[in-house]
Structure 1
C-alpha cells in the first residue's frame, strides 16, 4: 500500500478554488479542473517504495499480475482498468458521448489504418476501449444527462418564442421519438454557422428572461442553459443541450453515463470514475472538432429519466454505487470515531480517496503498514493486500468488480 502523489489538470473550464480547498493548497489563480488518481499514461500517479517516486503505470507494467491480480489481468489486460478523478467544473464541459466497446475497437482500427496521428485534432478514437463513467457529487452539481422526451423538449424550446426554432418544435411533436431526436440534433449540428449563432443568441436572451421567474416551469434549466451560453456565446451546443435532461445532484448522489448517452457537466465538485479511455465524440459547447456523421452513428436516441443513483448499503457498512460495468466499482465508507474496523478484502487493485475528515488504513500481515489519509489524499492498494479501515470521515473506494 502506498500514498499517491497526483497531478492536477488545468483545463479552462475548471474551478480556481475547489480542488485547492480539497487538497489543502493555495489557489494559483488558474483553473484547476481535474485531480487524476491512477495509471493513465497521460498523467499517472506516483508512488514511493523506498527508492524515490515512480509512475504507477511503470510499477504495474513491471509486474501486472503482482499488482493487479491474475484475475484482473485475465479479464482486462495488464493495466489498471479504471481512472479515478476529482472533477471541479466552474464552466460547462462539452456536450459529448462515448462509444461502446465494439465501436471503439472498430473506430480506432479504422483511424490507425488511415494513418491519422493520435494527436490530430480530427482524431476521434485515441484507443480501442470504451469509456463508461460515473460522477458522484461532493457539492450540489449541475449536469446534462440523456435525452428529454421529445414532447417535453418541444414545450421547453417553444416557450423561448424564437421563430427560427419552430421547425425543431414541429419535428419533436410530429415524429416518432428516436427519429425526432435524431432529426433535430442533425439539423442543429448541420445548420449554417451564422444563422444558428443568431438563433442561439435569441434563445439565450429568452432563457435569461424565463430563468428570472422562480415559479416558472423549467426555470432552473433555463438558468443552466443561459449560464452555459455565457461561456460559449452563439454555440449551437446550447440548442443541443436543450434536448437533454438537466439534473442537479445533491452531495452523495450520482449519475452513471453509459455508451451513446449524450451528457455534459456544468458546475460543481464531484468524484468521477471511468474506464481507462480517452474516446470522446463532441456535439457542442466546445471549440474542438465535431465529427457529425460519426457522432450521429454513436449516439443512442433514447429518451428517458436520467436515473439519479444513490448508494446501496451493505451489511459491512460499505455503500456501493451500482453500475452495469466490470471495469470499475465505486463505493464509499462513512467512518466514525469508535466504529468497528472495516475490512477491505484482497484480490483486486484499489485506489482509496479521503474527501472529508480522516481515514486510517492498515494492511494486515507480518509486514503490515499504516497510512493516515487526510482530506484530498489518496492511496493505492495492490491486489494481494487486505486493508483494515478506521477513522472519522468519508473514504471513496475504487476497484474492479470482483
Structure 2
C-alpha cells in the first residue's frame, strides 16, 4: 500500500468549506478560488502524488507505467493497458455547474484526433476533447445532493415549461409540440436545429426530434434580460405544490438562474429529471446523457477521461455543435447502480455501487467498534427490500485484484493486507496495488475519540 494524495481542482462552482474540512486544508478567503474537486488520479494531466518505501516521492501514473502487472493487475493490464482504468474524485458544488454531456465513444475518438490535428494544446481552454475515451460516470452522495439528469417524459416537460411565463419557455413549448409529419421535412423554422442532429436521428421517433429542437432553442437563444428568468421561475413555483418532482425541477432551475441570470439554458433543467439524493444514494450517467449538478458534496468515479462538452451555465468554453452530436434525447428514469441485480447489495456496514461496465465500481462503508446499525445502509436496505429478498443475504467482498483506492471520509480506520497494516484518519488515502491481494478494513484501535470511521473504496470490479 502506498500513501496517495488528492490533486485539488479549483473551479468557480466549488465550495469554500466542505472539501477543506474533509481534507483538513486551510479555509479559503472570499477572494481565493473555490475548491471544487479532489482527484485520486492516474490521468496524464493530473496524476496523484504518492510515497514509496523510504519516503521516495513519485506519482501514480509513473508507477503504473513502470510495473503495470504489479500495480493494476494482469486482468486490468490486458483489458485497458498500463493505465489507471478509472478516475476517482470527491466533488463539492456550492452553486450549479455546467449543463453538459460527455461524448460517446466514436465522437470522443474523432474529436480528440481532430483537435490534435489542429494543434490545440491539451490544456487550452477552448479544447473540448482531452481524451479519446467516452466518459461514463457515477455519483454517490455524501450529503444531500441535487442534480438534473437525462430527459423527463415529454408530458412533464410541457407541464413545467407551460408554467413559466417567459418567451423562451414558450418557444420551447412550441418546439415540443410542432410535429414532423414526414422525416426529412421538418417545420421550416427548425431546419437549422435539425441539421445539427446526430446521424442516428434518422431512426428517432418524432417525439425525440422535438425534444432535440426544444433543447436547441434554449442553448442557442441570446442572453435574456438580467433577472427575468429567475423572476419567471419563482412565479411558477408559486403555482405548484411545495413538494414533488415539479417543485424539485423548478427549485433547481431557480438556483441555476440565480447563478446565471441571463443564460436561457437554465430552462433546459425543466426538460430533465430532477434528482434529489440523500447520503448513500447514487446515480449513473452514461456518455451522451445531459446533466447538471446543482448543489452538494459527493463521490464521483468515471472512466479515465476528462472529456466534457458544455452547453450553458458556465464561464468555460461551450461546444454546442459537438454536444448535440452526442446528445441522448430519449426520456428515461435516472439509473441507480445500487438498485441493480448486477450491483452487489447493501449489508449492515457496506454499500457497493456497480454499473454494468468493467472499468470501475465504488463502495461506501463504515467500521465501528460498537457494531451499531448504520442508518444509511439500513435506509437503502429498506428501499431495496424486495431486491434483497429476491437475491438473498450476501456477504459482500471487496475486490482482491486490480488497482484500488481507499479514502477515509470520517473518523479513522485500519487497512490490513497479508504484509502491511496502515492507519488512516479523515482525508487520508492509500493506493492498494493488485499485488497486495486481499484486504480487510477495520477499526483503528489507536484512532481518535470513538473507534469508528467511514470510507470510500474505488476499484475495478474484478
| TM-score with structure 2 setting the length | 0.80
2: CA distance, partners of 1:209 / 1:103 = 40
Q: Kindly tell me: are residues 246 and 80 of structure 1, through their superposed partners in 2, closer, same or farther at Cα, counting changes over 3 Å?
A: same
User: Number of residue pairs matched?
Assistant: 394
In structure 1, runs of 5+ residues without a counterpart are none
1:189 is aligned to 219
Secondary structure class of the residue paired with 2:224: helix
TM alignment of 1:59-208, pairs within 5 A: 59-175=63-179, 176-191=206-221, 193=222, 196-198=223-225, 201-208=227-234
| Residue 404 (structure 2) pairs with residue 350 (structure 1) | yes
Provide the rounded CA distance (Å) in 2 between the counterparts of 1:41 and 1:180. Answer: 40
Using the TM superposition, give the Cα deviation of residue 100 of structure 1 relative to its aligned residue in structure 2, in angstroms.
Answer: 2.0
Q: Which residue of 2 aligns with 1:327?
A: 359
Question: CA deviation digits over 1:204-253, x for unaligned, max 9?
Answer: 21212333578356233222211111211111221222221121110000
Q: Deviations over 1:89-119 (max 9, x none)?
A: 1011111111122221122122223333333
Deviates more, 1:11-20 or 1:343-352: 343-352
**Contact 2:7/2:41 (<8 A) preserved:** no
Alignment correspondent of 1:395: 455
Checking the alignment, whether the CA contact within 8 Å between 1:235 and 1:285 is kept in structure 2 is yes
Residue 167 (structure 1) shift: 2.8
1:3-402 correspondence to structure 2 within 5 Å: 3-29=3-29, 30=32, 31-49=34-52, 50-175=54-179, 176-191=206-221, 193=222, 196-198=223-225, 201-211=227-237, 215-216=241-242, 218-310=246-338, 312-313=344-345, 318-337=350-369, 344-364=398-418, 368-385=419-436, 386-391=438-443, 392-402=452-462
**Quick check: 248-257 or 50-59, which moved more?**
50-59
Once the two structures are TM-superposed, the CA of residue 327 in structure 1 deviates from its matched residue by 1.0
- Is the 1:177–1:303 Cα contact (8 Å) retained in structure 2? no
Residues in 2 aligned to 1:208 and 1:280: alpha-carbon distance in whole angstroms:
30
CA RMSD, 1 decimal: 2.3
Q: Distance in 1 between matches of 2:320 and 2:6?
A: 35
Moved more, 377-386 or 22-31: 22-31
Q: 2 CA distance for matches of 1:371 and 1:342?
A: 22
Superimposed CA distance per residue, residues 29-74 of structure 1 (whole angstroms, 9 cap, x where no aligned partner):
2411111112223332222121432111111121112211121111
Contact 1:343 1:389 in 2 (8 A): no
Return structure 1 stretches of 4+ with deviation > 6 angstroms: 314-317
Which whole-Å CA distance do the structure 1 matches of 2:348 and 2:163 have between them?
50
CA contact (8 A) 1:255 1:309 kept: yes
2:311–2:323 Cα contact (<8 Å) kept: yes
Between 386-395 and 212-221, the greater mean CA deviation after superposition: 212-221
Are the aligned partners of 2:169 and 2:267 in contact in 1 as well (CA < 8 Å)? no
SS of aligned partner of 2:434: coil
CA distance in 2, matches of 1:287, 1:338: 48
Whole-angstrom CA distance in 1 between matches of 2:271 and 2:55: 53
Alpha carbons 2:404, 2:433 under 8 Å: kept: yes
